[in-house]
Amino acid sequence: MKKDAHYFALLALARSVGIEKETAHKIAYASQFVDDARVNKITLADDNPKDLLSKFENNEIINAATCHSYSDFSTYNYSSMTANTSAFHFVPGCEGRNFPKKMRCKKESKIIKSIIEQVVNIDDPIKLGITLHAYADTFSHQGFSGIASKVNDVEAVRESNQIYISNFQLLKEKRWQEIGTRISTCFSELIKDRIVPAYGHGQVYSYPDIPYLEWRYEYDRTDNFSSQYRVSRVKNKKRFIEAFKKIKKILQEFLANNEQYRDNSVSVVDYEEFNFILTTKKVEEERIVAWKEFMLANQFVSPADKDILEYDEELWLREAFKDFINCDFEQRIVKDVYLADDFLQSNWYKYYQGIQWYKDLFFKAAEANGLSIPNSYS
């Protein structure tokens, strides 16, 4: 899923069930930030306050990244694939006779359900947002794996109803992933296999994340990858609607256990309109505009709530780090960083704590369900 779903749709849904505005924002922001947290290691400047430095071993914050990238080859390693891509974007289904098959993502897998059961019972909106991102992706990414694997080596990929955008417009808007998709589709299956790694859903491009798309592919159904292919036909609209129907129940359960976040002023919502916006055949930017209009019309937010209406991936970073310069934080490693005085209370640090909590539960749940993934968390 993309920002229109992970942030805007989730924000609207959280408000619709009666979660107050600031808490709904934290849930939705944490959900989308899973796709944007690219910094993995932060080295702290030695002259930070000693009480802050004492919290971090070797003056470092490590294992902070949750986003995954098909174009960043530094992430093509075992640790990134298991503790990042698999954990947050392709939660394994733990089914099959071998490790690659067990790593294949499954809708509402036992792993993610066990984490959901815990997160709804604690008072932590940011942990909830992180978990809901992974949960939503089990619907859209089902059938693919977060590691480089034959599971992801698919054939005969086709779509039937994607909106056409001119090459000029894609270049103008710097939509590099879609440009890469368009280039890849020009190659034969043989050439594509050589240039597009069998990693995540790379070989089916961004098709799983387009909410209205209907598409198909063929995958090897055997345990020993003996090239016996089966056709999978996918209607994303059905997947997205089912995902958010289930997420609505999760949000309601969280709110029932955390009444301090309830806003009784929220009026009855038209969920048919919600589903229409969620899966409408428009480009992502147009769906985002529709979500803003929907939230304003339902008084979930006001025009003055600019920090909520406009998702800013640097918002939590600017709050947490002094002298923040965005180009520094576009790298996987950032050096000589100064922490804000209230860093330990910042949303970014709570997010960092949240992903460590999540990964610990992820690996333990995998082990409990017959999938042993070597790691440094459990």
Residue 50's domain spans which residues? 3-368
Q: Is residue 317 within 8 Å of residue 324, measured between CB atoms? A: yes
Q: Calculate helix-pair angle for 347-368, 125-140, nearest 10 degrees.
A: 50
Enumerate residues 6+ apart whose C-beta is below 8 A from 143.
104, 105, 219, 232
Position 375 in a domain? no
Grouping H, G, I as helix, E, B as strand and the rest as coil, residue 19 is strand
Instruction: Report yes or no on 376 lying in a domain.
Output: no
Look at the chain and count its residues: 378
Evaluate whether 146 touches 82 at the Cβ level (below 8 Å).
yes
CA dist 86 and 109 (Å) reads 12
Q: Answer yes or no: are the C-beta atoms of 127 and 95 closer than 8 Å.
A: no
The answer to whether 100 touches 143, Cβ cutoff 8 Å, is no
Burial of 325-341, coded b for 16+ CB within 10 Å and e otherwise, reads: eeebbeeeebeebbbbe
Tell me if 95 is assigned to some domain.
yes
pLDDT of residue 69: 64
Residue 304 within any structural domain of the chain: yes
> According to the model, what pLDDT value does residue 375 have?
86
| pLDDT under 70: residue ranges of the chain | 69-75, 164-195, 378
- Residue 33 falls within a domain, yes or no? yes
Domain tally, the chain: 1
Q: Give domain status of residue 377, yes or no.
A: no
Task: Please measure the distance between the N-terminal and C-terminal CA atoms of the chain and give it in whole angstroms.
Answer: 29
CB 220 within 8 A of CB 209: no
Q: Taking the model in full, what pTM does it have?
A: 0.92
Does residue 374 sit within a domain?
Answer: no
Q: Which residues contact 188 (CB under 8 A, 6 or more apart)?
A: none
**Quick one: pLDDT at residue 169?**
62
What span, in angstroms and rounded, lies between the C-alpha atoms of 239 and 261?
29
What per-residue confidence (pLDDT) applies to 77?
A: 85
- Residue 378 maps to a domain: no
Three-class secondary structure assignment of 46-91: CCCCHHHHCCCHHHEEECCCCCCCCCCHHHCCHHHHHHHHHHHHCC
Quote the pLDDT of residue 222. Answer: 86
Count CB-CB contacts under 10 A for residue 115: 21
Query: On the CB side of 234, how many CA atoms lie within 13 Å of its CA?
Result: 26
For residue 123, which amino acid is it?
D
Please report the pLDDT score of residue 183 as a whole number. 60
